[in-house]
Structure 1
Amino acid sequence: MTSPFRFTSPEPADGTTGTAAAVHAQVTRDFGIEGALPFVALSAAPDLMAGAWALMRESLLSGHASRTEKELVTYGVSRANRCPFCVGAHTLLLHAGGDRELAGSLARGERPADPEHDRLLAWGQDMRGRWPFAADDAPEFVGSALAFHFINRIVSALIDEEAVSGGADPAELLDTEAGHALVRAVRARPEPGLSLPLLGTGGPQPSWAAGTPVGAAFVALRTAAHAGAGLLDEPDATFVRESVAAWDGFTPLTGDGLPDRAERPGARLALLAARAPYRITAEDVKAWRVEPFTDHCLVHLVAFGAMLAVERVEAGLTAQG
């Protein structure tokens, strides 16, 4: 059977131990999907896996804001990031939540008929505008959006989207035992904070998180991802940071300013992970991944670039009065 993963060979969910196994158990219970591919792809680096899961769980799955509305935002994020796997996943999750008409219209390339839904989708596609939700709901909406700015990049870099983005009918997928488990999970509201014991040390939280579990999860993921900078020499790490900081957060990357594969392969990989992860090739990975680099290292380098992009998007958030 062809692996759905590019460039790494992660352990299947039932073969993991420790933090990775604990994350998989929560994902199965609260997300409703056993062996969810984005988290399997991160499992070679359990600190990253736990941070990404916690940020998604505490913002998208928990809380009091509408799950439908948060799914619309994350659908918009995934469209903006050209991540067909995640676009399809959010469409399926809308179906599972009972929003079949809305999901169908999105799948046909239509805008939502409801103006509020349309504003949420538009904000997900470009988060520099005014928030289309109450300030009290910012931890959940901003957290969900930033979670998928990270997850989209992990998926596009490390998962073969063509191999797993099939055109199956959502109604048929949900009319199975696994589909019924997904429906139950989507329509539940898991208790906030239960992912936090999986995380490492924290730090100052962003103001938009308002001291919620979402903020703790964001800090943990950010800390774990920035550890990937240690895989680059200082000039390359600085180059990637400055290149992403000078970007607007949304414009697709062209060939201009992309480091040479032979001369600066690590900087090239990290910058692609930030701005165009779907453009990462086997040649790019092969040029960088030499002894002693492992799957753990590659996941961390991709995560470093992905988190720089997340922080760039975060920095562009419009101040809300």
Structure 2
Amino acid sequence: MTPGPVRVALRRTLRDVKYVEAVRPRHARGVVREVYRQVERDFGMLAPPVALHSPAPEVLAAAWVLLRESLVAGGLTTRAEREVVASAVSAANSCPYCVEVHGMALGALGETAAAAAIGAGDPAAIADPRTRALAAWSRGAGPLPAAVTPAAAAELTSVAVAFHYLNRVVSVFLGPSPLPDGVPPSARGKAKAVLGFFLKPGEPPAAGLSLPLLPPSATDGPGWAVPGGILDDAFARVAAGFEAAGERVLPPRVRDLVRREVKAWDGRPPGLSRAWVTGAVAELPAPERPAGRFALLVAKAAYQVDADVVAAVRREGTDDRTLVEAASWAAFTAAEELGGRLPVRP
């Protein structure tokens, strides 16, 4: 676990969460306290991409189960392989925060060259052919390496889905770097080296220990998961948690619109203009358009969410919990679709 003084310093980065107020550790109770405890124990630090969900405890639990059981828990694949997927997906989604964090983690695992190539948007420059193929697969640009078994493919796909989700909520609620804005440019290299050291994974914790945070699901897990396995169970619970959140805060017409748009989408960024979303939400009743605009942007172009988009949703009476739940539902809807398109057989 990260040393106490460093852990306290990292907790202060929760102040950098935008648009909502993350629950401070000393105020955490119930599910929030249990998730925070598990995150610091198993991930090594209270990661802001998880803690930003804390205004909505059930969604916080779903986000942690998603991250833990895909990236952190032990399995057939190595942490380095999973970090390659996390980094490549984050680069494809233009999420500089996640690229930086998982590039540091890859570097700590001895994959500095691969991290640099992925971060530069040039995974073809990776020297090791297996790592290069894995990075290409993560971006939807090739098959998995031939030796990957179906169970290992499920683990790698779970990481891709998790980071398609996390990239979106991070792009909305966090800045472009895990380092606080107050760190001067001259000190950022050293600060990244220190953070990278503490990001280095240790012995992976046992899979499945986070599942009691969420109730069992009555529906099956995703098609890419091994039936009856831990990931099958975990992602069924996670999907049910996010779906319940969406039902609580988004009108049915908004959810139907987002699903249709994501299903028909080729996955490429729509660009810098937001004209596409204005046309898409025109079919909604006027009072539902701010929520529809926000949810569609989160799903397809989270980098386009800004203070004006959030303010429009807030004018409809949206509180912190509602904003987090709406963003989480939209992000997971897109992540499920994009992750499900990845080939899971060599």
Short-chain TM bin: 0.7 to 0.9
Indicate if the aligned counterparts of 1:70 and 1:141 stay in contact, CA closer than 8 A. Answer: yes
Q: How far 1:67 sits from its partner (Å)? A: 1.2
Match of 2:106 in 1: 94
Alignment partner of 1:43 is 2:54 = yes
Separation in structure 2 between the aligned mates of residue 154 and residue 43 of structure 1, nearest angstrom:
13
Q: 1:290 to 1:217 in 2, by over 3 A?
A: farther
Aligned to 1:268: 293
Match of 2:314 in 1: 289
Cα distance, 1:278–1:164 mapped onto 2, change above 3 Å: farther
What's the CA shift for 1:158? Answer: 1.3
Deviation at 1:47, TM superposition (A): 1.6
Q: Which residue of structure 1 aligns with residue 44 of structure 2?
A: 32
CA contact (8 A) 1:55 1:214 kept: no
2:328 equivalent in structure 1: 303
Match of 2:249 in 1: 231
1:156–1:7 Cα change, 3 Å: same
| Aligned: 1:259 with 2:272 | no
Deviation at 1:85, TM superposition (A): 0.2
Would you say the 8 A contact 2:31–2:213 is kept in 1?
yes
Secondary structure of 2:16 counterpart: coil
1:284 deviation in Å? 1.0
Q: 132, 135, 151: which is aligned to 1:118? A: 132
Checking the alignment, whether the CA contact within 8 Å between 2:294 and 2:310 is kept in structure 1 is yes
- 1:214 is the counterpart of 2:221: no
**Structure 1 residue runs without a partner (length 5+):** none
Which residue, 134, 137, 144 being the options, matches 1:131? 144
Aligned residue pairs, count: 314
User: How far is 1:237 from its partner?
Assistant: 2.3
Tell me: CA distance 1:169–1:66, structure 2 relative to 1, closer, same or farther (3 Å): farther
SS at match of 2:270: coil
CA contact (8 A) 1:68 1:94 kept: yes
TM-score (norm 2): 0.82
SS at the partner of 1:276?
Answer: helix
- The one-letter code sitting in structure 2 at the alignment partner of 1:120 is L
Q: Secondary structure at the match of 2:224?
A: helix
Over 3 Å counting, the alpha-carbon distance change for 1:67 and 1:169 in structure 2 is: farther
1:105 offset after TM fit, Å? 4.5
Deviates more, 1:141-150 or 1:63-72: 63-72
Deviations 1:91-130 (A, max 9, x none): 1111222333433444455531111111111111227x43
> Cα offset for 1:165?
7.4
1:230-288 alpha-carbon deviations (Å, 9 max, x no partner) = 4233322222221111112x211243244369931111111001011110111111112
Is 1:160 matched up with 2:143?
no
Q: Which runs of 5+ in 2 are unaligned?
A: 1-11
Provide the C-alpha distance between the structure 1 equivalents of 2:139 and 2:127, rounded to a whole number of angstroms: 17
Counterpart AA for 1:51: A
Look up the SS of the partner of 1:188 in the other structure: coil
Aligned to 1:12: 24
Higher deviation after alignment, 45-54 or 222-231: 222-231
Q: Conserved in 2, the CA contact under 8 Å of 1:97 and 1:187? A: no
Amino acid at match of 1:317: L
Quote the Cα distance in structure 2 between the aligned partners of 1:18 and 1:296. 16
The CA distance in 2 between the partners of 1:172 and 1:6, in whole Å, is: 22
* CA-atom RMSD in angstroms: 2.6
Q: 2-side partners of 1:131 and 1:108: how far apart?
A: 22
Q: Is the 8 A contact 2:154 2:344 kept in 1?
A: no
Most deviating of 275-284 and 92-101: 92-101
Measure, in 1, the Cα distance between the counterparts of 2:253 and 2:41: 43
Local SS of the residue matching 1:55: helix
- 1:44-75, CA deviations, whole angstroms, 9 ceiling, x for partnerless residues? 11222112211221121221311111111111
Which residue of structure 1 aligns with residue 63 of structure 2?
A: 52
Is 1:141 the counterpart of 2:152 in the alignment? no
Q: 1:232 to 1:180 in 2, by over 3 A?
A: closer
Task: Return the match for 1:246 from 246, 264, 271.
Answer: 264
